[in-house]
Chain A
Amino acid sequence: MRNLFVRECGNYKTTYKNDMKLFGTTGDKVKWLILLLLLFTVPFYVSNYWVGLLTLCAISAIGAIGLNILTGFTGQISIGVGAFLGVGGYTTAILTTTYGLSFWISLPLAGIVTALVGGLFGIPSLRLKGLYLAIATLAAQVIITFVISRWDSVTGGTAGMVLSRPSLGNYSFVSNTSYYYLTLIILLLTVLYATNLLRTRVGRAFLAVRDRDIAAQIMGINLFYYKVLAFIISSFFVGIAGALLAHYTMIVSPELYNIHVSIQYLAMILIGGLGSIFGSILGAAFITLLPVGLNSIVDFLTVYMPDFYQLFSAFKEFVFGLAIILFLIFEPGGLAHIWQNIKNYFKLWPFSY
């Protein structure tokens, strides 16, 4: 076996098949194996609180990958993710509590229902682009949350609904650790699907639509089909994330799915890196853990400024906005790009030129 730390120093691929391989080198395989091992053993050496946080990160990452398929790969801006999360969450809530279906059936159904709703609101995307589409999805956000909060007989109105954790046979996913494994497996499947999607005709069509949709149409890509398809695939994952989140927090209510959630998800893919799957995960972790980090800063500051704690929510909002703006100005490529830079630096180290 070759030295793992010596990376390939050129492109030796001679066939297309070789070039498209997911795991090109032994180094790649070992790297992924170590990462998987690390992810699966995390609950053994961190506290229960952190396992819970990691679960939230994983759920957000699924949603962020979904949104990235739409916004990062296909270039269709959506400010309606929050509502689509809500559709997923409410679908599973209604199916499991009102109709008594099992979680394992309601989870994919939540994805499918959200995909249908997303596809419906994606129809205007044929005629609209950029700003106008953003407004149309914003309209979707407002209308969906309105319907959820007013359709009392089905959704329980503003009071929301209470869910339970899923179970398999006699085993119930009540503990944080078990739910962590569940979301981790779904996240890995999502990553695998999204990575493979990019290597297919559909994925390349998405990229073509993003770069210049009229040019793509001239090249024979059916714009309507691919734009709506992007909305459908993206909403499917967002719906799955919504369902997982609903079963994790065990409650759904209209306020949990407002416009700020949509903005948070957009911030995730933007800070992580548009059009990067790895970036979506990094961004989801960043945005999910940001309040936790700020909390400890505020705890530290209250020693000196006792009044500061009351300002915490405002301070959180302030820093959130600041983070978005700083990333946009100084690192538009996001965390994924920073990671790439670090890797390149060490690849050439110590001769960086």
Chain B
Amino acid sequence: MFFLQMLINGIVVGSIYGLVALGFVLIYRASGALNLANGEFVIFGPYICLVIMTALKVPFLVAFLVTLIVSAILGLVIERLVIRPLLNAPAISVIMATLGLSSLLAGAVHMIWGHTTRTFPPVFPQTPLNLGGIIVTPVYLWSFIIVLILLIIFSIFFKYSKIGLAMRAVADDRTAALSMGMSVKFVLATTWMIAAMVAAIGGVLLGNINGVSPTMSAIGLTVLPVVILGGLDSVLGAIVGGFIIGILQNLAGGYLDPLVGGGLKEVVPFIVVLLILMLKPHGLFGSRGIERV
């Protein structure tokens, strides 16, 4: 029973990881850059949602929609101001730019909203569901459902929609995409917009679970192993990786933590990452690039 509970806990936490990981994958797919500021994108959403809910006294769904719009604008602004000038810069510049961005956004969040943890007014039903002895909180169930819906949406989006195809083309070869008449700038702007929105969804769900505080941005780092495990450019990989890491984390936390004195939850994903990088550098579902001189 303990094992099963740990497994279920892992799956539900993993669904949140998968959701946040989607933000990484989207940006990587379109621009070949890793957005290390994703954790800070995640904290902006719930703060905005919370402010709207408490200040304007509107129902959760309305606040949530407004949050999505605000996040989209934030993504657009960041893409325009920070990412676009670095369009042709080497990998380290983009990595450093997103690291700088994460520091800047974290500073901004601290300055605007302070360090205290705030709690969401109850949005989802609070009574835990009892599935044959295993206890699941409705928030987790909702996040699981939302993740599955988003997975389907994005799979279809990348396969059939015009802009989704354009994103894949731009990620594959920017010059070729340009010469085929695609607007790389437009594609990149859309990507950052969508990624910011996805991060906001993840953030609002996470805020409902743990309360809203600046420390939430740590999920940005926790989720990196998920993306690497699944493969940086695979939507399915992000979700599956999320589940695997979530489960491993909970199992390690449940069984091994008493042996080493706690804290294994944060480290296990990174040990997995080192192993995966050595054995299968492109992850479980990632595509292997061919390099020519």
Interface set of A (CB-CB < 8 Å, partner B): 71, 75, 77, 123-124, 127-128, 130-132, 134-136, 138-140, 142-143, 146, 149-150, 152, 212, 214-215, 218, 259, 263, 266-267, 270, 274, 311, 313-325, 328-329, 332
Contact = CB atoms under 8 A, between A and B. Distances in A.
A329 B110 contact: no
B215 to A, nearest CB: 13
Interface string B219-243: 0010011001000100000000000
Contact of B100 (A75, A123, A139, A324): A324
A142 B266 contact: yes
A64 to B, nearest CB: 14
A88 B109 CA distance: 34
A334 to B, nearest CB: 11
Contacts of A123: 278
Contact of A266 (B99, B225, B261): B99
Interface string B249-293: 000000000001101001100110110011001000000000101
B93 A314 contact: no
B96 A270 contact: yes
Contacts of B291: 214
B102 interface: yes
A317 B277 contact: no
Contact of B111 (A267, A318, A324): A318
B105 interface: yes
Nearest to B85: A329
B69 interface: no
A131 B99 CA distance: 13
B99 A263 contact: yes
B86 A329 contact: yes
A274 B92 CA distance: 10
Given A128-B281, A311-B111, A324-B96, A318 B104 contact: yes
By secondary structure, the B interface counts as: helix
Given A324-B97, A332-B93, A143 B271 contact: yes
Contacts of A214: 291, 293
B107 A318 contact: yes
Contacts, number: 139
Given A71-B92, A325-B100, A139 B34 contact: no
Given A135-B277, A218-B293, A328-B89, A321 B271 contact: no
Give the top 3 A-B pairs by smallest Cβ distance, nearest first. A318-B107, A321-B104, A324-B100
A319 to B, nearest CB: 7
Contacts of B99: 263, 266-267, 321, 324
B129 interface: no
B278 A317 contact: no
Interface of B: 34, 82, 85-86, 89, 91-93, 95-97, 99-111, 221, 224-225, 228, 232, 260-261, 263, 266-267, 270-271, 273-274, 277-278, 281, 291, 293
A134 B273 contact: no
A139 B107 contact: no
Contacts of A131: 34, 91, 95, 232
A267 B92 CA distance: 11
Contact of A135 (B104, B224, B260): B224
Given A75-B92, A320-B103, A324-B96, 16 more contacts: A124-B278, A134-B95, A138-B221, A140-B274, A142-B266, A146-B266, A149-B263, A317-B103, A317-B107, A318-B104, A321-B100, A321-B107, A324-B103, A328-B89, A328-B93, A329-B97
A266 B99 CA distance: 10
Contact of B104 (A77, A311, A325, A332): A325
B260 to A, nearest CB: 6
Given A134-B34, A150-B261, A143 B274 contact: yes
A97 to B, nearest CB: 22
Given A318-B107, A321-B102, A332 B89 contact: yes
Nearest to B91: A130
A150 B95 contact: no
Given A131-B91, A322-B100, A314 B224 contact: no
17 contacts: A77-B95, A132-B232, A136-B273, A136-B277, A139-B273, A142-B266, A146-B266, A267-B96, A314-B111, A316-B107, A317-B104, A317-B107, A318-B107, A319-B107, A324-B99, A325-B104, A329-B85
B267 A266 contact: no
A270 B94 CA distance: 12
B33 to A, nearest CB: 8
B277 A124 contact: yes
Nearest to B228: A135
Contacts of B96: 266-267, 270, 324, 328
Contact of A138 (B91, B111, B232, B270): B270
Nearest to A216: B293
Contacts of A320: 100, 103-104, 107
A317 B100 contact: no
Contacts of A146: 263, 266-267
